[in-house]
A and B are shown apart, each in its own frame.
Chain A
Amino acid sequence: MAGGSNSPCASCKLLRRRCAKDCIFAPYFRPDEPKKFAIVHKVFGASNVSKMLQELPVHQRADAVNSLVYEASARVRDPVYGCVGAISCLQNQVSQLQLQLAVAQAEILSIQMQQPHQQQQEQEPSLLLPSPSMLSSLQTDHQDIDDDKSSTSLLLSSAANIINNNQLNLSGQYFGFASSVVNVVQDPLKRESLWI
């Protein structure tokens, strides 16, 4: 709330100044949450935060404050990599899961191809129809599916094709850098709430 009430906001308390009625921090740094502002001030500085908030429309400032608190917390937790460490971890997770998905999708294709023709007619339509490009790539790589080794290599090559088809179109600007910090071992954030 505005600083017109008796209690100054957390930022003005920390900065030891009078909390004006139109204090830009007051709506977002309540007096009962001193640590929130302390951490943001430590990493970004009150002056920089104030400038950032002033450049944003009012309806976006709450989200901006929450994201700044999140990044500042990450930086305090990990002074070397901050948020970037978490991004790197999550990227790795996404890549591994995409590979798992591709293998599972290739397995379905393999099962579908191995079933007798009449069973395919009796079944309900598949929820996952292979695209023409997938089918053609499978036929190109097709080997004797009775051979276990051939089945495995068919599965892996199908998975590779599916990964190429499903590849996320990620910004190279971000992830080209993040790959350089991939050796950092960080606790993945998983579904940790962003907003403290």
Chain B
Amino acid sequence: MSNPISSRCAACKYLRRRCPQDCIFSPYFPSNDPQRFAYVHRIYGASNVGKLLQQLPERARSEATESLYYEALCRIQDPVYGCAGIVSWLQQQIHDVESEIAKTQAEITVFLNSTVNISEPNTQYSRTNEQGMENLTNKHKEPLQ
């Protein structure tokens, strides 16, 4: 049994064939979106898509079709790099933001250190001075060793 001609899925319409009841494409390529299958077919070919979907459990096929469509779209828009171009760009973004974070954290350290040094100059001087006086006193009290 096949679907009536009027309700063929987009894949079978594109391939100009009858759409069987158990057509593997029909749940994922509805007839109201012909471009979707056209893009996927252009990059992967109907046969490869059919094989890929058949190898997957039914619950995963919808997501697989979405990702195939997305990748096909990327490849059509960028025939040289496709999705790999986006991956590369994101990796570069990560590198840039990580560098920026490192730079910013270094600045924070500089600010915090300068805050500590500026806020306690008298204390440090007092401590040094007191220690110096104590050393002088002890020097006279205890014999040299």
Contact = CB atoms under 8 A, between A and B. Distances in A.
B100 A101 contact: yes
A145 interface: no
Nearest to B65: A80
B94 interface: yes
B80 A90 contact: no
Interface residues of A, number: 58
Interface in B74-99: 74-75, 79-88, 90-91, 93-95, 97-98
Q: Interface centre among A43, A168, A178, by most B CB within 10 Å?
A: A43
Q: Is the interface of A mostly helix, strand, loop or mixed?
A: helix
Nearest to A53: B79
A47 B45 CA distance: 9
A98 interface: yes
A19 interface: no
Interface in A88-113: 90-91, 93-94, 97-98, 100-101, 104-105, 107-108, 111-112
Interface in A24-67: 42-45, 47-48, 52, 55-56, 60, 63-64, 66-67
Contacts of A190: 91, 94
B97 A101 contact: yes
Interface in A61-88: 63-64, 66-68, 70-71, 75, 79-87
22 contacts: A43-B48, A43-B52, A44-B48, A48-B43, A56-B80, A67-B80, A70-B84, A70-B87, A71-B71, A75-B52, A75-B71, A80-B64, A82-B83, A84-B71, A90-B94, A94-B93, A100-B101, A101-B100, A128-B104, A128-B107, A177-B66, A194-B87
Interface of B: 42-45, 47-48, 52, 55-56, 60, 63-64, 66-68, 70-71, 74-75, 79-88, 90-91, 93-95, 97-98, 100-101, 103-105, 107-108, 111-112, 114-115, 118
Given A101-B97, A174-B70, 16 more contacts: A63-B81, A71-B75, A79-B52, A82-B68, A84-B83, A93-B90, A94-B93, A94-B94, A97-B97, A104-B105, A108-B104, A108-B111, A111-B115, A112-B111, A127-B103, A127-B107
